[in-house]
Amino acid sequence: MLELLLCSMLTVLPDYLYRRYRQGKRIGREITLFTVWFELRWGITLCLILTLALITTIFYFHPSTKSATSVFRTVTVLPQINGRVAETFVELNQRVVEGQPLFRLDSTEQEADIATARRRIAEVEAAMVVAKSRLAEAEGRIVQARGALQLARDEYEARAEANRKSAGAIAEREVERMRVQVDTQQGALDAALASREAIVSEIEFKLPAEKASAEAALHEAEVELEKTLVVAGTDGVVQQFALRPGDIVNPMLRPAGILVPERRATGLMAGFGQIEAQVMKVGMIGEVTCIAMPWRIVPMVVTEVQNVIASGQVRSTDTLIDVQQFAKPGSIIVIMEPLYPGQLDDLPQGGSCIANAYTSNYEALQSPNLGALQRFGLHAIDTVGLVHAMILRIQALLLPIQTLVFGGH
């Protein structure tokens, strides 16, 4: 409507003035309701053409959107394990700090695992004490076996020497028996040495490995016990937290609540039409008006333009995707931040706004190679942005009335 009124001032009004004062035609006589089109056909036609051109120029070079939102993230409150709630420490809408306990699951099983692991460690330590006693016993057996071997050798050598000096003094069978006795005592010594090596290996390798395994099991059980206590991962406000002792929570099926991190709105995410892909650039100046901040216009600047459109994303599934599923065009997502810090401090997280972005040809107009027609066109493009700025201010003025009166809120 504003564009139509502006264009009529440049077309219909001059046409009427020409008909009235140049041709002498008067309203109610020559110019009536039935002869308006015939008498003012040139002005009306030019008005419609100029209005369409103006609207196209404004909305292309100075895009607008009602899909501008102060987006924020939420943190799902989930335990790492399944379990039954034993105790809760916070209430709904309570502010929490990072690391503050939220609730605790029943830890009977984890505590039993810790006790079992500790008993296993004590068992291994006791086995080490027993192994050391067995090592001392093996050392004594080695000494005993070496003494018996030495005694058997001395006896064998004495009888063999006597038999050499006086043949037949000692029966050959007796000498052979002593030689077998020496071999037997040597075997007993070897067995005692092997038994000692086995005990040493058990003390130095087997039992330490068993103790390390038991300590690892203890650590694992302690980690599982720590998982039963769920704490806040960040500062924020607990929302939709309705857990009570006895409830069962499952990290896959039933979350415990939502944690909304505390932060001020520092920017907006706005979605513009795909036709604006060649216009939206980083550094563009814009303006927004928000429902939560009525009658206020906040100057903004485009800080980021998303180079992908979400509606075209493809994920690996077991279904072949039909291209017709992408028929609905998506939006060009841009990030807009206040031109001056602190101007969105009063905007709640998730607030909805109306946003304008304005094309500026200031740098292009500094080029000396531009022709007169090009320079006029660029000036005209920058100038018509004023119309969109006026429309935004009218929207800001009427938005509370539309919301409260006509919207029934």
pLDDT at residue 301 in the model: 94
Q: What pLDDT was estimated at residue 127?
A: 87
The share of the chain scoring above pLDDT 70, in percent, equals 94
**3-class state of residue 115 by DSSP:** helix
The pLDDT of residue 165 is 66
- Predicted confidence at residue 54, as pLDDT, reads 82
Three-class DSSP category at 254: strand
Answer with the residue of higher pLDDT: 162 or 221.
221
Select from 192, 207, 76 the least CA-distant residue to 140. 192
Average of per-residue pLDDT values in the chain: 84
pLDDT number for residue 197: 87
Query: How confident is the model over 3-39, as pLDDT tens digits?
Result: 677 777 778 778 777 777 777 787 777 777 777 777 7
Specify the higher pLDDT residue, 49 or 163. Answer: 49
Distance CA 67, CA 179 (A): 106
CA 280 to chain centre: 27
Buried b (16+ CB within 10 A) or exposed e, 30-65: ebeeeeeeebbeebbebbeebbeebbebbeebbbbb
Residue with tokens 């077309």: 11
The pLDDT value recorded for residue 116 is 92
Of 75-84, 167-176, 336-345, where does mean pLDDT reach its minimum? 167-176
Structural tokens at position 36: 């308006």
pLDDT at 176: 72
Q: Is the pLDDT of residue 292 over 70?
A: yes
pLDDT at 409 over 60: no
User: Hey, is 211 helix, strand or coil?
Assistant: helix
pLDDT value of position 175 = 65
83 by Cβ neighbours in 10 Å (0-12 / 13-18 / 19+) ranks as buried
Neighbours of 8 (CB within 10 A): 20
Under 8 Å CB-to-CB from 39, ≥6 apart: which residues?
A: 19, 25, 30, 31
Residue 101's CB is within 10 A of a number of other CB atoms, namely: 14
**pLDDT score of 195:** 83
pLDDT at 270: 92
The yes-or-no verdict on residue 242 having pLDDT over 70 is yes
- pLDDT-derived band at 167 (thresholds 50, 70, 90) equals low
| CA–centroid distance for 133 within its chain | 58
- Percent over 90 (pLDDT), the chain: 16
Interval 173-229: pLDDT, tens: 776 777 777 778 788 878 888 888 888 888 888 888 988 999 999 999 999 989 889
Q: Which of 109-113, 202-206, 253-257 has the lowest mean pLDDT?
A: 253-257
> Residue 286 — very low, low, confident or very high, per pLDDT cuts 50/70/90?
very high
Rounded Cα gap, residues 378 and 107, in angstroms: 72
pLDDT at 244 over 60: yes
Least trusted range by pLDDT, from 5-9, 62-66, 110-114: 5-9
Q: Element (H or E) spanning 301, and its range?
A: strand 293-305
Angle at 314 between CA 310 and CA 316, to 5 degrees: 145
Q: How far apart are CA 62 and CA 273, in angstroms?
A: 12
pLDDT for the residue 296: 92
Alpha-carbon distance 40 to 19, whole Å? 8
C-alpha distances out from residue 326 to 269, 315, 316, 333, 350, Å: 22, 13, 16, 17, 27
Q: Indicate the DSSP class of residue 73.
A: -
In tens, the pLDDT along 326-383 reads 777 888 899 999 998 888 888 888 889 999 999 988 888 888 888 888 888 888 888 8
